[in-house]
Chain A
């Protein structure tokens, strides 16, 4: 029998903003622990939130073996690795003090706007250890901001959004990004219906959804994916390479291992290379069941049997800067394009709730409500221009994708 312990600790200071002021301060420090036992190609799991009796939990996990959940896969072993990423704030007190200063600056510089929602200081510590020599440890402290921006005279619940997830804090750069957005909101712009270059803000636009669903190992393996049976085939254009990524270089601040303790080289696994399908994403189960590459994409709760779950998918950066890709054109920066979807065959349509006319540096004015349409094969095929090699901000990696899409004014 092999024993494995999976511990997730989350410590947080969360500030809720109302009317550009701190309305509340929330503290949290919660530990969730999973206990797994493997025996005779079966797995038994138990779990506890907070304090626990270790002996009791192992006994519960052993008892769970009788539930007969199959796990005929090799348990991860013989690997010790620890990664810690620190953040610019030592504690919640210093963090709260700095955010008071940020909000004061926002109130002074932008009295015609309301800033609300959350800024958090988070430390997540995750360890996975077993008696086969696996000992993985990740501790990441980060700043998470999701600030809603609303013009005071606007009838909408929100007009724009400033998000960040990073370890470094730079108040001036944060303010520069907010200024950029507010300047864009203060002016209006127009664009004709037709084909246009569209730059997507990844955290506000849901254009990658079909890649997540069609590259799912079970869907692929059972023949239900648009990509089923197409490993080795050219799906998209030569410039399109897609990783499954847990890499901080891609802006992902997550543990470097998956829920089965798999660690990928460089924390990435290439699923599509130069347009050619290499592999769907898989865990140990579906890699074996369908004879696919094992990409290390297991997820699940602290007390769950590990199961296939997507890691973040990231498109490889091109050799061009954003300015070079735009070639001096004024294009559409899609800030919020949510609620749309793909048909089963891959046709894509979505409303664009907030967008700007954009020259690669400045937001030249807010555009009216738009609809954009495309097809999966075109978005990442003939109409794909690339992902900028330069980041749009120094706060965190923000490499913007550009593609041609059909745009219609509502």
Chain B
């Protein structure tokens, strides 16, 4: 146990990490490794400024803590500081991935065999010019102590694979990938049919995709694309650190304001299994379900303890860091659009001339959001038509949220082990996306 300095708030986050990485090119082994390491992030707050230290020297944590305390100005009133009052004090062992569930207990040869199997399924296809296969897993056990009395241990685990293939037929080129992931290794098995179907779609795209005629279109986003849309278009704006000290933004983002169509609800929740799962955030706050938009009305935002104190709202469990080298900042967990009441067929049947975006390369969001589609299809006279080559779909966020006019009745949540969300210096953070199929009018498609 650590001795916390008097007159200051302090906390310590220790991360105990196990990782596996296997990489193949055209079935040949490029890389196979397991590694384990520990690191710690130490924070001290004196009511005016934070002092942080990131270290890999676990034995030296007390010294680091004492050194940080020397930089700060101790105050008898620290416990009454609004930020300090916001910190939850949770205690106990909440680890979920122990014993056989721990990914470290699965033999690395089994992981390699799994990846090799999926690779062999695609290898040798006459349209493939190169095939990169990745297996990645990570188990992270976090221990958190604070000067307020928090003392808890919790964990996170994900395993997954990616098959990234470049295709060519005569002068036509196309690259696409299949991603699969789960917190449990066994869930990654028996995906052959799914992999093959995805690959077949990519080949069909290569052979038949046509250029889009740039213009305004009604776009139906798949659950994956809808999740990225929610994350980029509104999720980042719900991260309340951008509002601290900014009176104009506080007024602009008043709760209860109408910001989207009535059928739109966007949720951030750290509880569901997957890559956005957090039992506790990196400040020791329990994960919570937060409606960012409910029935088109601004209903909540995401907080760390600091931002919750500043805006006089409740903590939401969104203080997160990408690893032990960084401080927690306000980040999303699993962000998704809530379901509606139409089927996908109904959504498509009501579109005369539109686009269905099925998979994406990337997305971004400021006042304008962007989605760069990979697999996309034309919709003509209420029916799905030919594949389309599209550079980017974009729109003004606030106009777009009011242009949503249809939401399907089933939610899918997606997880990933490669890539993640970037916010300033902290990339990649493991997050989840999802939603139903979502129809949006008047988007710029180029």
Complex interface: chain A residues within 8 A of B444 (CB): 351, 371, 410
A303 touching B166, Cβ below 8 Å: no
Complex interface: chain A residues within 8 A of B54 (CB): 26-28, 30
A312 CB–B CB distance under 8 Å: no
A51 CB–B CB distance under 8 Å: yes
Q: With A and B bound together, what is the CA distance between A114 and B38 in angstroms? A: 37
Distance from B35 Cβ to chain A, minimum over Cβ atoms (Å): 6
B56 touching A25, Cβ below 8 Å: no
B interface residues, how many (CB within 8 angstroms): 69
Distance from A161 Cβ to chain B, minimum over Cβ atoms (Å): 11
Q: With A and B bound together, what is the CA distance between A345 and B175 in angstroms? A: 11
B424 touching A146, Cβ below 8 Å: yes
B392 touching A350, Cβ below 8 Å: yes
A23 touching B50, Cβ below 8 Å: yes
Complex interface: chain B residues within 8 A of A19 (CB): 244-246
The answer to whether A341 and B392 touch (CB under 8 A), given A19-B245, A118-B425, A157-B242, is yes
Among A152, A158, A345, the residue within 8 A (CB) of B366 is: A158
A152 touching B446, Cβ below 8 Å: no
B217 CB–A CB distance under 8 Å: no
B255 CB–A CB distance under 8 Å: no
Give the residue name and chain of the A residue nearest to B59 (CB): A51
Distance from A165 Cβ to chain B, minimum over Cβ atoms (Å): 13
B293 CB–A CB distance under 8 Å: no
B327 touching A26, Cβ below 8 Å: yes
Complex interface: chain A residues within 8 A of B366 (CB): 156-158, 336, 353
B25 CB–A CB distance under 8 Å: yes
Distance from B46 Cβ to chain A, minimum over Cβ atoms (Å): 11
Kindly identify, within residues 86 to 123 of chain A, every residue whose CB is under 8 Å from any CB belonging to chain B.
114, 117-118
Among B28, B39, B362, B424, the residue within 8 A (CB) of A339 is: B362
The answer to whether A349 and B392 touch (CB under 8 A), given A29-B55, A64-B33, is yes
The answer to whether A224 and B53 touch (CB under 8 A), given A156-B367, A353-B366, is no
A168 CB–B CB distance under 8 Å: no
Q: With A and B bound together, what is the CA distance between A118 and B172 in angstroms? A: 44
Complex interface: chain A residues within 8 A of B55 (CB): 28-30, 50
Per-residue contact bits, chain B 35-49, to A (CB 8 Å; 1 contact, 0 not): 101110000000001
B1 CB–A CB distance under 8 Å: no
Give the residue name and chain of the B residue nearest to A120 (CB): B425
Complex interface: chain B residues within 8 A of A64 (CB): 33
From DSSP, what is the main secondary structure of chain B's interface residues? strand
Distance from A237 Cβ to chain B, minimum over Cβ atoms (Å): 22
Give the residue name and chain of the B residue nearest to A348 (CB): B391
Per-residue contact bits, chain B 302-345, to A (CB 8 Å; 1 contact, 0 not): 00000000000000000000000101000000000000000000
B396 touching A369, Cβ below 8 Å: yes
Per-residue contact bits, chain B 234-264, to A (CB 8 Å; 1 contact, 0 not): 0011000110111111001000000000000
Complex interface: chain B residues within 8 A of A1 (CB): none
The answer to whether A24 and B52 touch (CB under 8 A), given A222-B166, A347-B211, is yes
Q: With A and B bound together, what is the CA distance between A46 and B369 in angstroms? A: 42
Tell me which of B51, B166, B361, B369 has the highest count of chain A C-beta atoms within 10 A of its own C-beta: B166
A305 CB–B CB distance under 8 Å: yes
The answer to whether A339 and B372 touch (CB under 8 A), given A304-B33, A347-B391, is yes
Complex interface: chain A residues within 8 A of B362 (CB): 339, 341
Kindly identify, within residues 362 to 379 of chain B, every residue whose CB is under 8 Å from any CB belonging to chain A.
362-370, 372
A318 CB–B CB distance under 8 Å: no
A25 touching B392, Cβ below 8 Å: no
Q: With A and B bound together, what is the CA distance between A40 and B172 in angstroms? A: 41
Give the residue name and chain of the B residue nearest to A354 (CB): B366
Distance from A92 Cβ to chain B, minimum over Cβ atoms (Å): 10
B31 CB–A CB distance under 8 Å: yes
Per-residue contact bits, chain A 341-376, to B (CB 8 Å; 1 contact, 0 not): 111110111110100000000000000010101000
A264 CB–B CB distance under 8 Å: no
A155 touching B396, Cβ below 8 Å: no
Q: With A and B bound together, what is the CA distance between A117 and B329 in angstroms? A: 12
Among B49, B50, B236, the residue within 8 A (CB) of A157 is: B236
B31 touching A304, Cβ below 8 Å: yes
Q: With A and B bound together, what is the CA distance between A153 and B159 in angstroms? A: 45
B30 touching A305, Cβ below 8 Å: yes
B122 CB–A CB distance under 8 Å: no
Q: With A and B bound together, what is the CA distance between A353 and B396 in angstroms? A: 10
A69 CB–B CB distance under 8 Å: yes
B392 touching A218, Cβ below 8 Å: no
B129 CB–A CB distance under 8 Å: yes
The answer to whether A339 and B56 touch (CB under 8 A), given A47-B35, A224-B173, A353-B368, is no
Per-residue contact bits, chain B 171-208, to A (CB 8 Å; 1 contact, 0 not): 01111000000000000000000000000000000000
Q: With A and B bound together, what is the CA distance between A222 and B173 in angstroms? A: 12
Tell me which of B28, B167, B327, B425 has the highest count of chain A C-beta atoms within 10 A of its own C-beta: B425
A344 touching B52, Cβ below 8 Å: no
Per-residue contact bits, chain A 65-94, to B (CB 8 Å; 1 contact, 0 not): 001111000000000000000000000000
Distance from B328 Cβ to chain A, minimum over Cβ atoms (Å): 11
B414 CB–A CB distance under 8 Å: no
Complex interface: chain B residues within 8 A of A410 (CB): 368, 396, 444
Complex interface: chain B residues within 8 A of A157 (CB): 236-237, 242, 366-367
B32 CB–A CB distance under 8 Å: yes
Q: With A and B bound together, what is the CA distance between A24 and B35 in angstroms? A: 32
Per-residue contact bits, chain A 205-247, to B (CB 8 Å; 1 contact, 0 not): 0000000000000110011111000000000000000000000
Complex interface: chain B residues within 8 A of A69 (CB): 29-32
The answer to whether A307 and B30 touch (CB under 8 A), given A339-B392, A340-B372, is yes
B245 touching A114, Cβ below 8 Å: yes
A55 CB–B CB distance under 8 Å: no
Distance from A110 Cβ to chain B, minimum over Cβ atoms (Å): 15
Complex interface: chain A residues within 8 A of B52 (CB): 24-27
Give the residue name and chain of the A residue nearest to B205 (CB): A344
Give the residue name and chain of the B residue nearest to A45 (CB): B33
B286 CB–A CB distance under 8 Å: no
Q: List 21 A-B contacts (CB under 8 A).
A: A24-B52, A26-B53, A27-B53, A27-B54, A28-B325, A45-B33, A68-B29, A146-B424, A222-B130, A222-B166, A224-B166, A339-B364, A339-B368, A340-B394, A341-B391, A343-B390, A345-B173, A347-B389, A349-B214, A349-B391, A353-B367
Other A-B pairs, 11, CB within 8 Å; known A16-B327, A19-B246: A25-B50, A25-B71, A26-B54, A30-B56, A31-B56, A48-B37, A49-B39, A156-B367, A218-B25, A349-B392, A369-B367
Going nearest first, the 6 A-B pairs with the smallest beta carbon separation are A339-B370, A50-B56, A339-B364, A224-B129, A24-B50, A349-B446
Residues of A with Cβ closer than 8 Å to B? 16, 18-19, 22-31, 45, 47-51, 64, 67-70, 114, 117-118, 146, 150, 152-158, 218-219, 222-226, 303-305, 307, 336, 338-345, 347-351, 353, 369, 371, 373, 410
